[in-house]
């Protein structure tokens, strides 16, 4: 697979990474550990070198799975994980980016990931109770100690990005970005380009909606987070079907899939964008990876963007209690 630089500072990674959250968190029951390991290793075989996990996924079980899966090929891959939540055992207690908590939980992440360094360490969500300068300074110390290679932020706004970057250069910002959620285009992406920071879109397929596999009548497992997302109500899915229909028309014309069109559109927005679609199915993994070879023409891209501009998408992406964790 083609490689891309995450920002101007690196690291160099595969043009499409693998978001590992869904293997153990968020979208219903976790997969069998052996199946999860097999999928991660199949991704390596397919050319993926960029793997995304976090302390909160599980909590903790996702880091352990990713660490076990990648241990035999550790030097061939780039592993990203995240800190920023407090825990009471395995129960999340809310945001916590206190420096002492960062240091302690990063040591635990290193152990679970079976490695002596974290290639890219994100603050998972901006903690309003801890100055971002303190967070960036703590990560800088971890970089100086050789425990971390690069610093990242997730769902941070422009002001926080600039303040953090002034203390410790930020390599990448992780943010939801897709044809279904284009808010980063207004202020976030121009700031990242200005500062030489890469963008790692999570949910680049709209949590599965853009693939066309989800309709207004689809039901989800009890533990699937989409049950509580306003954009996944039956009414919102019916209203937003127009975007899926657009992708289906382009995909049919190009002899590719909806997912491949959606990912190819993202890749074309800037050369330092590296989406991380997740999946629990190996055939979907290969479908997503193949999107790196899909070449949309300028006319295709303009048509998709213009048509998407005309669609009035319905539903907030998070309920109110989760919206509070988004820094804008």
Catalytic residue ranges: 57
Residue 290: C-alpha distances to residues 176, 212, 248, 250, 259 (Å): 21, 17, 17, 16, 10
- Does residue 65 contact residue 23 with C-beta atoms inside 8 Å? yes
Quick one: CA torsion of 161, 64, 317, 230, rounded to 10 degrees?
-160
Largest CA distance in the chain: 54
Q: What is the residue whose two structure tokens read 């199946």?
A: 35
First to last CA, the chain: 34
Q: How far apart, in whole angstroms, are the C-alpha atoms of residue 269 and residue 318? A: 25
Distant-in-sequence, close-in-space partners of 10: CB < 8 Å, separation ≥ 6: 150, 171
Q: How far apart, in whole angstroms, are the C-alpha atoms of residue 128 and residue 97? A: 9
- Does residue 5 contact residue 12 with C-beta atoms inside 8 Å? yes
- Does residue 46 contact residue 77 with C-beta atoms inside 8 Å? no
Q: How far apart, in whole angstroms, are the C-alpha atoms of residue 260 and residue 204? A: 11
Q: How far apart, in whole angstroms, are the C-alpha atoms of residue 53 and residue 113? A: 10
3-state secondary structure 164-203: HHHHCCEEEEEEECECCECHHHCCHHHHHHHHCCEEEEEC
């Amino acid at each position: 697979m083609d490689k891309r630089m995450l920002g101007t500072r690196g690291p160099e990674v595969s043009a499409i990474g693998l978001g590992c959250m869904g293997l153990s968190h968020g979208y219903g029951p976790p997969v069998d550990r052996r199946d999860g390991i097999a999928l991660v290793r199949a991704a390596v075989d397919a050319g993926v070198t960029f793997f995304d996990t976090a302390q909160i996924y599980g909590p903790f079980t996702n880091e352990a799975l990713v660490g076990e899966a990648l241990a035999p090929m550790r030097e061939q891959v780039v592993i990203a994980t995240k800190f920023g939540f407090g825990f009471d055992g395995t129960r999340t207690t809310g945001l916590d980016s206190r420096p002492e908590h960062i240091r302690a939980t990063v040591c635990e992440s290193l152990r679970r990931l079976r490695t002596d360094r974290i290639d890219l360490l994100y603050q998972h969500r901006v903690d309003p109770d801890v100055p971002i300068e303190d967070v960036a300074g703590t990560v800088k110390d971890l970089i100086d100690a050789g425990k971390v290679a690069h610093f990242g932020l997730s769902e941070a706004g422009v002001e926080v990005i600039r303040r953090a970057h002034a203390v410790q250069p930020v390599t990448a910002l992780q943010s939801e970005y897709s044809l279904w959620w284009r808010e980063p285009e207004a202020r976030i992406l121009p700031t990242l380009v200005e500062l030489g920071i890469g963008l790692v879109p999570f949910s680049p397929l709209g949590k599965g909606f853009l693939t066309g596999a989800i309709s207004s009548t689809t039901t989800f497992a009890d533990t699937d987070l989409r049950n509580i997302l306003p954009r996944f109500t039956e009414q919102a899915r019916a209203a937003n079907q127009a975007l899926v229909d657009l992708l289906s028309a382009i995909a049919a014309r190009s002899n590719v899939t909806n997912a491949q069109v959606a990912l190819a559109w993202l890749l074309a927005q800037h050369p330092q964008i590296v989406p991380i679609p997740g999946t629990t199915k190996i055939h979907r993994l290969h479908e997503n990876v193949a999107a790196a070879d899909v070449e949309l023409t300028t006319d295709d891209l303009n048509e998709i963007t213009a048509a998407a501009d005309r669609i009035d998408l319905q539903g907030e992406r998070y309920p109110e209690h989760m919206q509070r964790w988004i820094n804008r």
